[in-house]
Structure 1
């Protein structure tokens, strides 16, 4: 078969060799039922209460990024962007929904260009990209030539455009790397209509630290975790779930019929020493922490945790939204915080109950109101 490409478009080579194998012998976490103390694993942590500053309330955090000491949040309910400093003070809110040239029909995705200090919003409904500065002012817009469902900034003016098997894209590649002019495209992961019938869902996650971003991609039916840079795609990790690996001939509609296969490997985030990843098996979401230094694994949701007079019991097994400066970032609703403050102390005797209620972090949570914005939790793991 001959594949013809214009001079401005090239087919990239995916480097498969060199991936680090991670074997999960028991995806259900059955061998990890021994009781443990959360205090043995959680190190430093702090909360960020997100100010509403008037009527700036959000409904649901669709996506969160942290860069340049700014927290960027896309709220799916109001379809707007919130920018906060690290103290939770609202910097600005972007409400650009409309039909004008610098307005969006929907925020499908966003990314942060940390080199030029700008927010890049993807709207594939009106086929455009809108640029904002960190004060929420419009810089301009670009026409979206490469239909995409996701976008991320890779550095040096390069972006990754990801098409989630959407037939609106005519180039039949899942991943394309280019600049905002969308010329000189480097394309990866071709797909056909036949594969589309089975490959309806894929995973797209971001790994952030304090200075830059590395994009990770795990295609469906492929347990390789690929790193994506401004000019290459390479296998970083391979997840081996043994007999629970998803067969190539398995279709999505049969997941409920055949529940013992691992699928939907997300979220995926990592610090310098810990890789955190989630997946679904038997209709349940798992969250695993993998120590990159010694290979040890910690199943956060399947371990029997001992009750301790500490607030970490509340957030530890939540899905992770981001990484920042070796902290994992999770979130809690104000309702769940209020319930925790109200009921959790009753699980202890008098002395431990008082110890919990005297904890400054517990007192901080006790001030949360049920109509507040979500509370972010930044935490580090100890070595295990």
Structure 2
């Protein structure tokens, strides 16, 4: 059974549609930042990150093989697979679009990308509590746009882009405070106890000219902008807006990749340090790539012979993993041993008969584990075939036999081999 990127493509296209509609609505809305004092939002010594970290030396350089259609056997790169069913939620049910999946202090935090609400589970999948959209008053939000864990204060932070504010909670879900923010953004991660990396992506921030053409800013805990980077031409590039997760964490290290580029940087306090360069050779997008398209399909037709990354690589202790797009929305995967440099690259063949190899949502670096998820509807649709199979593992059979189409999604854990 070969992996087919149908799920990724649908999610990818839905995200394009969702963000495009959101941008149109916001571009026609009255300026909600009209009362903002820009001088209080920007540091007087605003650093340009793009002028820093331009050393030619990277700790890791990966030459990607030409053949994207090469077959990777899951048994070649994966040591074991196990599953965690997300438990029942009182009077509620998750959709199959989990975003912002995070692990911290034996808890699983995720944002439902369709409901725009936050759900918290125990490490075995038991539901602990939910943060539901309520309203526009103090301590309330209308939609969760992104979430982050502040590991230095053990807090869950929820961003509501529509109301332009952040809400802070204890890990037990108790509301602490809220903070209004003066610009739009897509995602955020804590660099340390005083600096936060913020992915502006290609959101509209025309009210602050200094950052209106940037995709990355570093801010302090009052959300004042200290540094900016990821420069782009907003006038031409805001039409085409699709991306993956641009941040990747390994312990205390935080990495950043600007979508459609190939150099990955580690964020060090107020600097970008070159870390990994991805080399696609002749399939590297031209330096002056045209992003002035209103539809992703038009971009794919313009650049059919190129490979590009829209999300960051995952740096585990022993393995580096990433996926990239080619020929439009086709997906190719790469696994690299950090010990030997050996590569596995291409399409994934599910020869070990797991639930498949789907879009990776997060990682557990020290355990060399990738984590994905799958809706119960898709699992239920395969139930009969799996239960009648002689090759399915007993763990998989037990999990599938107790899964109904109305259950919550299942998390899939892939422990990678480290000896190739």
TM-score, reference length from structure 2: 0.78
RMSD: 2.6
- 1:356 counterpart = 2:401: no
Q: Does 1:207 align with 2:248?
A: yes
Structure-2 separation of matches of 1:53 and 1:199 = 36
- Change in 2 beyond 3 A, CA 1:199/1:56: closer
Distance 1:90 1:305 in 2: 30
Is the Cα–Cα contact under 8 Å of residues 206 and 322 in structure 1 kept in the other structure?
no
The question of whether the paired residues in 2 share the 8 Å contact of 1:338 and 1:369 is answered with yes
5 Å-filtered alignment, 1:262-281, equals 262-266=307-311, 268-281=313-326
> May I ask how many residue pairs the two structures share in their alignment?
362
1:15 partner SS: coil
Please give the secondary structure, in 2, of the residue aligned with 1:361: helix
Q: Is 1:330 the equivalent of 2:376?
A: no
* Distance of 1:305 and 1:89 partners within structure 2: 29
Per-residue deviation at 1:161?
A: 1.6
Classify 1:265/1:254 alpha carbon distance in 2 versus 1 (closer, same or farther; 3 Å).
Answer: closer
Distance in 2 (CA, whole Å) between partners of 1:321 and 1:6 is 34
Query: Which residue of 2 is the match for residue 188 of structure 1?
Result: 229
Pair 257,196 (structure 1): closer, same or farther in 2 beyond 3 Å: closer
After the TM superposition, which residues 337-376 of structure 1 pair with which residues of structure 2 at under 5 Å, given as runs? Answer: 337-344=379-386, 353=390, 356=392, 359-376=394-411
Please give the secondary structure, in 1, of the residue aligned with 2:135.
Answer: coil
Distance 2:349 2:76 in 1: 13
Q: Once the 2 structures are TM-superposed, how far is the Cα of residue 267 of structure 1 from its aligned partner? A: 5.1
Matched, 1:57 2:93: yes
Residue 385 of structure 2: SS of its match in structure 1? Answer: helix
Of stretches 336-345 and 290-299 in structure 1, the one that deviates more from structure 2 is 336-345
- Checking the alignment, whether the CA contact within 8 Å between 1:265 and 1:277 is kept in structure 2 is no
* Aligned equivalents of 1:373, 1:103: Cα separation in 2: 25
Structure 2 residue 219 is the aligned partner of structure 1 residue 178: yes
Bigger proportion of residues as helix: 2
Q: In 1, are the aligned partners of 2:266 and 2:272 still within 8 Å (CA)?
A: yes
Identify unmatched segments of 5+ residues in structure 1. Answer: none
Deviation digits for residues 4-24 of structure 1 (CA, Å, limit 9, x no counterpart) = 985353333431322222111
Alignment correspondent of 1:158: 195
List structure 1 runs of 4+ shifted beyond 6 angstroms.
Answer: none
Task: For residue 197 of structure 1, report the CA deviation from its aligned partner.
Answer: 6.0
What does 1:219-298 correspond to in 2, within 5 Å?
219-252=258-291, 253-266=298-311, 268-283=313-328, 284-298=330-344
Checking the alignment, whether the CA contact within 8 Å between 1:62 and 1:76 is kept in structure 2 is yes
For structure 2, the 5+ residue unaligned runs are 1-38, 292-297
Q: Look up the match of 1:25.
A: 65
Partner of 2:339, secondary structure, is coil
> Could you say if the C-alpha distance between residues 207 and 221 of structure 1 is closer, same or farther in structure 2, counting changes exceeding 3 Å?
closer
C-alpha separation in 2, matches of 1:286 and 1:362:
29
Q: Deviations over 1:351-372 (max 9, x none)?
A: xx1x636x23322222111111
SS in 2 for 1:219: coil
> By how many angstroms is 1:342 displaced?
1.3
Deviations 1:146-197 (A, max 9, x none): 4322211122132112211323251223222122212361222334445646
Correspondence for 1:41: 77
Alignment partner of 1:319 out of 343, 348, 359: 359
